[in-house]
Amino acid sequence: MKTKTFPKATLEKIQKERMLGIRVGTNSEHKIIGIWVVTVNGRVFVRSWTRKPRSWWRTFLEDPNGTIYVAGSKRGIKVRAKQVKDNALNDLVTKAYKEKYNKPGDLHYVAEKSPRETTTELVVI
């Protein structure tokens, strides 16, 4: 069975936009929130700045299914969250964050508050 991938146009929009709309889990109690997102080698990655019990990242640990909304689209894309453990890939994700989110107000979050252990790949389901 072939793995689904994001269409090229969708990846370009994800990389261009500063925010990605996301609803985590299959439980409808979670609302759509905006999070930072990067692409690396045609793959989509997100990180959480917090690891609080009710954060989107913690919810994904319990239920890895969710929906993303790209560039203001009302039509969602179903995704599955996969935690990234590979150090080399994590280095590439860090580099992508530093390149994309490079405004003075961003740097604090990219350099200091971006916990590598929350690096999550979003894959199309």
CATH of the domain at 80: 2.30.110.10
Q: Which residues contact 29 (CB under 8 A, 6 or more apart)?
A: none
Query: Could you give the CA distance from residue 12 to residue 109 in angstroms, rounded to a whole number?
Result: 23
Q: What is the number of structural domains in the chain?
A: 1
Residue 2 in any domain: the answer is no
* pTM listed for this prediction: 0.91
pLDDT confidence bin for 114, thresholds 50/70/90: low
Residue 100 in any domain: the answer is yes
Residue 81 in any domain: the answer is yes
Domain extent at residue 96: 8-124
- Lowest-confidence pick of 43-47, 71-75, 88-92: 71-75
Residue 58 in any domain: the answer is yes
Residue 1 in any domain: the answer is no
What is the sign of the dihedral through the CA atoms of 104, 105, 110 and 111?
positive
pLDDT confidence bin for 80, thresholds 50/70/90: very high
In the chain, pLDDT over 90 holds for what percent of residues? 66
Widest CA span in the chain: 45
pLDDT confidence bin for 3, thresholds 50/70/90: low
